[in-house]
A and B are shown apart, each in its own frame.
Chain A
Amino acid sequence: MASTIENDVKQIILVISQLPGTIDDLNNDTTLPELGYTGNMCNQLAQRLDHYVKSKKTATGVSNAEIACDETVQDIIDLITKKLS
């Protein structure tokens, strides 16, 4: 059973990619470049995740440099889960 954080992060990644489909069809081992992400799209993802993390009342946000553009969906989920734990 996927956690709420995992589903939220996958939904954010999917919306920024602008690809059709649902998070059920988004594999965790898919890399951001495989979803068509460019450098600035990774920065946009970092900004969106920063907003998401701060909305959960966490002190530590997400910086652009923390989202390396060769990471997988699972890497991003792990990063956000760690920040919110």
Chain B
Amino acid sequence: MKTSILFTICLCWATYSFGQTPGAESTASPFFSNLQIRKSFEAADVLQKPVQLLYTAPHDGKNSWLADAGIGITLGKLSTGTFTSKLTAEYHRNTLIDAEQNNFQAGYNFNIFGGNGDGVNSFYTTAITGTTKYVRDKIKDDHSFVATLNLTPYLSGAQSAAGQYGFNLGRPGYTKGLKNTYQVGPAFEVQYQQILSSASGIKGGIIRPLVDLFAAISINQVPVAGAPIVAPKKIIEFSFDYINRYAVANSTGNSEGFTKLFKGGVDYYIAFREGGPQASLGLSYNVGSDPLEGLKNQRFWEFTLQFKL
């Protein structure tokens, strides 16, 4: 029921977003202007991949799901200065792979992002993102309380006298002439998962530090000289994301130790408007697991039609 509600909200938001012109977005109500859709809210601003939604209900046979999406609503009353609060919910379900995934998460998320702000020199800070949430894994049939703390270095390169910008970390940057858009960075996180109950009888706590290395580079359509300033259109984008975790403390007895997840892929943009609707064909190779999102250890290729709103 909860997952159906989340799925419906995502679809309603998609319909709403497609119906807006850029100028109209600013006149939306505060509730909607602060609503975000992402794949995950654990990290502040890692590679922004499109959400994936697919549902097929054949007349005969089993229904198929591919849902990898989350929504977040900023809590204005609990946000001040460099501190921002959100309520978030995520749904990760994939019935098209060897070991099915069916995972729902909901909770509270905060972000702390400060810095020098003088705008003259390079801007460096570490974005701190924390979450406390309830996690339901329907495949393992367990319920957990989870707390995470994520640190993502953020560097915005300084502008030289010639107008060129220095190297960026944790945010997009451009090569000369806007021919390419790149984004690279590491992120560091600690996860605490307390399994409250499980059909297999497993209970206890797990502490997992993790390192996340991510990079993406796209080939762009070079903007026309003299046109109004907007970010360049991406044509094709290559990306990889590698996460390595280790359960340094584990009282559940489930023998979890090192786990990793690698995802490498290429996206070909059929339609692209920076900040607006985007459609792409994505091919990715995935190997590894993600215990918190209920993804069991496996490897698979994924070819999807993706939309980003």
Interfacial residues, chain A to chain B (CB-CB below 8 A): 12, 14-21, 25-27, 29-41, 43-44, 47-48, 50-52, 61, 63-65, 68-72, 74-75
Contact = CB atoms under 8 A, between A and B. Distances in A.
Contacts of B48: 38
B33 A68 contact: yes
A61 B83 CA distance: 13
Q: Which 5 A-B pairs have the closest CB atoms?
A: A33-B275, A36-B231, A65-B79, A51-B117, A34-B275
A65 B200 CA distance: 43
Interface residues on chain B, size class: 35 or more
Contacts of A36: 172, 181, 231, 274-275
Given A15-B159, A40-B170, 4 more contacts: A40-B127, A43-B82, A44-B171, A71-B26
Contact of A38 (B111, B115, B171): B171
A37 B81 CA distance: 20
A40 B154 contact: yes
Nearest to B23: A29
A29 B276 CA distance: 14
Given A20-B163, A47-B115, A61 B81 contact: yes
B269 to A, nearest CB: 14
Nearest to B77: A65
A19 B26 contact: no
11 contacts: A25-B228, A27-B228, A27-B229, A30-B22, A30-B228, A30-B230, A33-B274, A39-B36, A63-B79, A70-B275, A72-B22
B171 A34 contact: no
Interface in B204-240: 226-231
B82 A34 contact: no
B276 A33 contact: yes
A26 to B, nearest CB: 5
Nearest to B20: A70
Nearest to B45: A40
Contacts of A38: 45, 48, 171-172
Given A12-B119, A35-B275, A40-B45, A29 B22 contact: yes
Interface in B111-148: 111, 113-119, 123, 127
A28 to B, nearest CB: 10
B81 A64 contact: yes
A63 B171 CA distance: 20
Contact of A70 (B26, B127, B168, B173): B26
A38 B111 CA distance: 14
Contact of B119 (A25, A41, A51): A51
Nearest to B74: A65
B174 interface: yes
Contact of A64 (B23, B33, B79, B118): B79
A19 B231 contact: yes
B188 interface: no
A14 B229 CA distance: 9
B80 A63 contact: yes
B26 A47 contact: no
B291 interface: no
A30 B229 contact: yes
